[in-house]
Amino acid sequence: MASSGLLRAKSIERSIADTDEPGTRLRKDLNAWDLTVFGVAVVIGAGIFTVTASTAGNVAGPAVVIAFLISAVACGFAALCYAEFASTVPVAGSAYTYSYATFGEFVAWIIGWDLILEFALAAAVVAKGWSAYFAQVFSLVGLNVPTTVSLGAVDFDWGTVLIVLILGTLLALGTKLSSRFSQVITAIKVAVVLLVIVVGIGYIKTANYTPFIPPSVPNGANTSSLDQSVFSLLVGGQSSIFGVFGMLAAASILFFAFIGFDVVATTAEETRNPQRDVPRGILGSLAIVTVLYIAVSFVVTGMESYTKLATGADGTKKTLATAFADNGVHWAAAVIAIGALAGLTTVVMVLLLGQTRILFAMSRDGLMPPVLAKTGARGTPVRATLTVVVAVAIAGGFFPSNKLEEVVNVGTLSAFVLVSAGVLVLRKTRPDLPRGFRAPLVPLVPILAIVSCLWLMINLTALTWVRFAVWMAIGIVFYFAYGARKSVLRASQSGGAGQGTEVAVDS
């Protein structure tokens, strides 16, 4: 008997069958190389060009290298679980779809709402970063072209709106076209990252690595205990700025720099051979960026004392270009600025892609307005893309950019926890399912993924958890006001249709 209410679940078979419904069918154009490019395109961007330097200067010092490694290990465990799920359930929606099959509709909604937070806000923030670099590139040729103009009581960031509209148009024209665009831009920024490593090695001063883990410093006068990591509060620490607590907190912040490999899973439905290519795309992109991140963080903290990488009194964040400019290598600083502009371009595009596919999947299930699940002549969800573009353009164009990395991280990590737990559940409840990729050492790897992600979550600040709770409260209200009543699965169960394909999730 099918379950009803919060725990009703959508079977794997039905999820896959829905991908062939006329009018909501996505075009299968992508291969393993396309997926790897997408993963690298979104990961190498805001994280490596900005978060690396600022986290070293404000939180971890040279130990940012270890913090990157901690984040990479946690992401690696989660990536193995994502690869198994994506090869088993090659359907748009990523963690949302997987949770629907294993934990039921309400948990799936929670994860979908988390992912909206991750992709939409991250896209808006990174787009504003692109706008700032766009103005900086103009300044390199002696032109003063501000990308933000005052409109009375509000400031309008036309640079942000411009890049969001251009990239949204590319995505509406087709993911294959946007993938080819990503390949060109990603090649440019990877070359810039390699330039940072090769040129920067010659300016390393070993004295800058001492102390490798700087001594802890107390919170500033304008901060409260809510600005400490939850872990440091629980064990009685006085601060999570530098010291061991700072290094651990940095790992949770730097997790933002790895966000992106999960976007690969959202494109599984548009992949020709998802059982083979999606795992390759996920694991390949994560391996590439991990090596580059650790190398860049080692070089930058060796070039410049961490004290000079701290955010300025005016709130200006230091970047990779800062280390080169301070060492007199101004040509490299200029190249890095241009590379960052290219890098942030593909980050925004792939974040928009991920957000669109999550919204598309939720709309196809009736939890969001079904009209957003309609695909156009090119096999892309044009209406969902337009909705996401408008929302991100408004957020980035009219609202100030705040430090949202941690808020994004807590939602993403919670999704990773449920995906990893879902692998354990499906191995037990559906051992018969064909799996193109099997995570090794189950149940050890999923358990390690869950523990490591929870560990990163408790090293985020208490204030981050407060903001996350507010966002989740809004999502729960929306679910009961709309999604629970409009659910396609609920309608099919009530009408007696599809009883052979839904499965009950026992409480």
For 37-68, what is each residue's pLDDT tens digit?
777 877 777 667 767 888 898 888 999 999 99
Residues paired with 502 in a beta bridge? 10
Contact between 216 and 238 (Cβ < 8 Å): yes
Q: Is the full-model pTM beyond 0.85? A: no
Tokens representing 64 are 């940012």
Peptide bond into 62 cis (omega under 30): no
Calculate the CA 188 to chain-centre distance: 21
Contact between 458 and 229 (Cβ < 8 Å): yes
Phi and psi at 150, nearest 5°, equal -85, 130
Q: What is the mean pLDDT of residues 177-205?
A: 82
- Spell out the domain ranges in the chain: 28-494
Residue 162 has pLDDT above 90, yes or no: yes
For 89-132, what is each residue's pLDDT tens digit?
776 566 787 778 788 899 889 888 888 877 887 888 788 878 87
- Distances in Å between the alpha carbon of 381 and those of 66, 272, 364, 377, 414? 41, 18, 11, 10, 27
Count of other CB atoms within 10 angstroms of residue 336 = 27
Tokens representing 385 are 């893309």
Contact between 307 and 207 (Cβ < 8 Å): no
User: Which amino acid is located at 176 in the chain?
Assistant: K
Tokens 């598309």 belong to residue? 360
pLDDT value at position 84?
Answer: 86
Q: Which residue has the higher pLDDT, 262 or 348?
A: 348
**362: nearest Cα among 350, 370, 354:** 370
User: Which amino acid is located at 131 in the chain?
Assistant: S
CATH class assigned to 28-494: mainly alpha
Calculate the CA 129 to chain-centre distance: 16
- In whole angstroms, give the CA distance from residue 110 to residue 182: 30
Tokens representing 476 are 């729960």
